[in-house]
């Protein structure tokens, strides 16, 4: 067994990852988790010297002091320190900061010991800092990474610093304006504010939407004993557009007397290619659409699958790294999945050559898609070791990956025109000829046969058995879900894989939006924040501008430009907007018809972390305040209180009684019976 001094220190980000790595690395390594970022910009001041080229000041976070102390203690007698944090910008930065803090420790001790005559030993001279990067936590991947360590990638560090400093400048300098105008404790952010603007603008589209009436006419036809329906498509060979009941009924009467024959049959063979294996954004979208998981839940489950699940033989990572924007797949994984498809489905389902998927321009090519670490571990093989949600997400990832290397699905698409006088009805449908990837993974509502179409021949005479006009109204655009908002952010170049889930979570935590039945509704507070930011900082929360900033920061990662130039170009116009806003923003005061029960002054509406409340307009001389109630009586027996919306410690909203703590009644929803009284 190796002596403690002979061991190497390995830094990872989480205890789960540390536990899994310990299985592969053995007793020659001491593995410590950092629990995320240990070092960051200070919480109580800007921490950025704007005049000195946007130079940052970093500190050990207060809540991470003990973690850093333990790392220093363990590093003291170790010659090799492996930085095995996650394979992305944030992981690179965590390792870099820890390395720098350990070097600072060496510098200070060397100087203290050799004050006078002896030149201090160069800090870290007796230690090796080695960066190891792996995209899956399996024995082979980890061992390979430790055989080929590298230096810290300074371009990744520069890109991460640029983003962090830019986000700090925006958040730190914008937030006080929200405090001045609306309420203390609010925050603005470079990406979150753009996302909020998208949600708010969609809500206004919905509010302003005016439904337009339209009518369809469907006819029921019969051939022998087979009934089927077709929709009116054309009149006089022109597309039909029916906007009112009178026209629909008039046309229906005219149609009744016609003789109908099959005028045209078109059959087209369509091929539908498999989708690429998941990247972060598509995983979040599909997990919402197929499993009902929000983005935050999806990423939390994916992280558990990546970092390691306990099996009888020890912990093992089941999927590759879950924050990625590249659909690239390792050649070894392609070989394995092709062998699996050949064995399980047969050669008919296996393409002659592997399917390759083109990454978008900004994708990090070093990353892989999200896939199983081994396709041979099927969902059935692992389900006994996972809870239900982990199984469902793993199965989704597994099926999507296997399907991505299968042949296209082939459909026969049929379109039949039925003519009677000046009217043409059309019925369309498709029939699956070859399942291909769809034998394993359906896209949307894909099925073997989308609509039953009778066996018809051109010239067949059909009996009209029924005519059915139906009224419809155009629908407003839908509110954003986790899936559609992530897709919109990605399509517009807003944020990157690591930011989608935390951005949505921040909007909910700040009560700028609420997720109701899976869809985002902006709150009154959220709309106020957006209106202020658009009025004074339209460029900062502009979709195109934010996308250009992201592209520039990607160029920093590629080593093409320096982040300080981006910050300089951004800060000059931003500072002008900031100065104008500080001079012109006035505190909004909303008076009510209620008066203070202590001093008789008018009550005003204010905002706090728990939402709106009533406060005396004479504040701070008079500190009287009270909740704004729903007007619905408490349902507790013999209670005279009313229900008021409250916010719990974890950000959850509920309804409680105004007589709390005497009455402890709570409800997640307003009682329906009480609402009707």
Residues labelled catalytic:
321
For 532, residues 6+ apart whose C-beta sits below 8 A from its C-beta are 177, 178, 181, 182, 585
Question: SS in 3 state form for 513-571?
Answer: EEEECCEEEECHHHHHHHHHHHHHCCCCCCHHHHHHHHHHHHHHHCCCCCHHHHHHHHH
> Of the candidates 50, 52, 56, which has an alpha carbon nearest to the alpha carbon of residue 97?
56
Whether residue 120 contacts residue 114, with contact meaning beta carbons closer than 8 Å, is answered with: yes
For 165, residues 6+ apart whose C-beta sits below 8 A from its C-beta are 41, 48, 54, 56, 563, 567
Backbone φ and ψ of 87, nearest 5°: -85, 60
Kind of pairing, strands 8-12 and 29-33?
parallel
CA dist 528 and 517 (Å) reads 23
CA dist 95 and 86 (Å) reads 9
Three-state secondary structure call for residue 28: helix
> Of the candidates 405, 330, 416, 425, which has an alpha carbon nearest to the alpha carbon of residue 369?
330
CA dist 244 and 267 (Å) reads 34
CA dist 521 and 43 (Å) reads 30
Q: What is the CA radius of gyration of the chain?
A: 32
Rounded alpha-carbon distances, angstroms, from residue 532 to 177, 184, 591, 610 = 9, 15, 20, 20
CA dist 109 and 289 (Å) reads 56
| Residue 661 structure tokens | 């703590």
Three-state secondary structure call for residue 260: strand
Cα 78 to the chain's mean position, in Å? 40
């Amino acid at each position: 067994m190796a002596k403690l001094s002979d061991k190497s220190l390995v830094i990872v980000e989480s205890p789960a990852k540390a536990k899994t790595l310990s299985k592969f690395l053995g007793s020659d390594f001491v593995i410590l988790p950092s629990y995320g970022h240990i070092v960051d910009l200070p919480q109580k001041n800007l921490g950025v010297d704007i005049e000195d080229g946007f130079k940052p000041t970093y500190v050990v976070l207060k809540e991470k002091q003990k973690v850093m102390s333990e790392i220093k203690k363990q590093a003291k007698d170790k010659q090799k320190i492996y930085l095995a944090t996650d394979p992305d910008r944030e992981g690179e930065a965590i390792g870099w900061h820890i390395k720098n803090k350990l070097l600072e420790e060496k510098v200070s001790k060397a100087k203290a010991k050799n004050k006078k005559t002896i030149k201090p030993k160069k800090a870290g001279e007796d230690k090796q800092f080695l960066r190891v990067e792996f995209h899956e936590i399996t024995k082979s991947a980890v061992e390979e990474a430790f055989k080929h360590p590298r230096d810290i990638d300074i371009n990744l560090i520069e890109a991460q610093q640029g983003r962090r400093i830019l986000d700090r400048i925006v958040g730190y300098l914008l937030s006080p304006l929200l405090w001045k105008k609306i309420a203390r404790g609010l925050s603005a952010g470079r990406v979150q504010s753009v996302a909020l603007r998208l949600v708010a603008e969609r809500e206004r589209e919905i509010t302003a939407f005016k439904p337009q009436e339209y009518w369809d006419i469907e006819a029921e036809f019969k051939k022998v004993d087979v009934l089927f329906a077709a929709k009116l498509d054309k009149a006089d060979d022109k597309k039909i557009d029916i906007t009112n009941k009178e026209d629909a009924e008039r046309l229906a009467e005219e149609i009744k007397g016609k003789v109908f024959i099959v005028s045209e049959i078109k059959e087209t063979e369509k091929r539908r290619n498999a989708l690429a294996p998941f990247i972060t954004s598509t995983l979040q979208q599909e997990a919402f659409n197929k499993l009902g998981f929000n983005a935050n839940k999806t990423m939390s489950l994916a992280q558990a699958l990546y970092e390691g699940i306990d099996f009888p033989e020890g912990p093992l990572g089941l999927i590759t790294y879950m924050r990625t924007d590249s659909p690239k797949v390792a050649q070894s994984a392609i070989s394995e999945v092709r062998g699996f498809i050949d064995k399980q489905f047969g050669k008919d389902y296996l393409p002659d050559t592997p399917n390759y998927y083109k990454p978008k321009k900004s994708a990090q090519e070093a990353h892989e898609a999200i896939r199983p670490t081994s396709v041979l571990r099927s969902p059935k093989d692992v389900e006994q070791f996972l809870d239900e949600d982990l199984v469902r997400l793993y199965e989704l990832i597994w099926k999507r990956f296997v399907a991505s290397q299968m042949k296209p699905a082939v459909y026969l698409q049929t379109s039949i025109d039925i003519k009677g006088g000046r009217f043409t009805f059309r019925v369309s449908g498709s029939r699956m000829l070859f399942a291909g990837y769809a034998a394993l993974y359906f896209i949307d509502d894909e099925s073997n046969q989308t609509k039953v179409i009778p066996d018809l021949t051109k010239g067949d005479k059909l009996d009209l058995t029924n005519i059915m006009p139906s009224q419809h109204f155009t629908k407003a655009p839908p509110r954003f879900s986790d899936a559609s908002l992530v897709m919109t952010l990605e399509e517009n170049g807003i944020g990157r894989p690591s930011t989608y889930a935390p951005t949505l979570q921040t909007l909910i935590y700040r009560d700028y939006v609420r997720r109701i039945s899976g869809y985002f509704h902006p709150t009154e507070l959220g709309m106020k924040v957006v209106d202020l930011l658009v009025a004074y900082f339209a460029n900062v929360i502009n979709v195109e501008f934010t996308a250009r900033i992201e592209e520039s920061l990607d160029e920093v990662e590629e080593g093409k430009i320096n982040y300080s130039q981006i910050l300089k170009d951004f800060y000059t116009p931003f500072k002008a907007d900031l100065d104008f806003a500080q001079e012109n923003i006035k505190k909004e005061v909303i008076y009510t018809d209620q008066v203070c029960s202590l001093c008789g002054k008018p009550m005003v509406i204010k905002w706090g972390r728990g939402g709106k409340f009533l406060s005396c307009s004479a504040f701070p001389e008079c500190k009287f305040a009270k909740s704004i109630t729903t007007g619905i009586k408490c349902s507790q027996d013999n209670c005279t209180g009313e229900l008021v919306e409250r916010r719990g410690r974890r950000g959850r909203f509920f309804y409680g009684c105004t007589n709390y703590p005497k009455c402890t009644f709570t409800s997640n929803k307003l009682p329906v019976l009480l609402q009707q009284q």
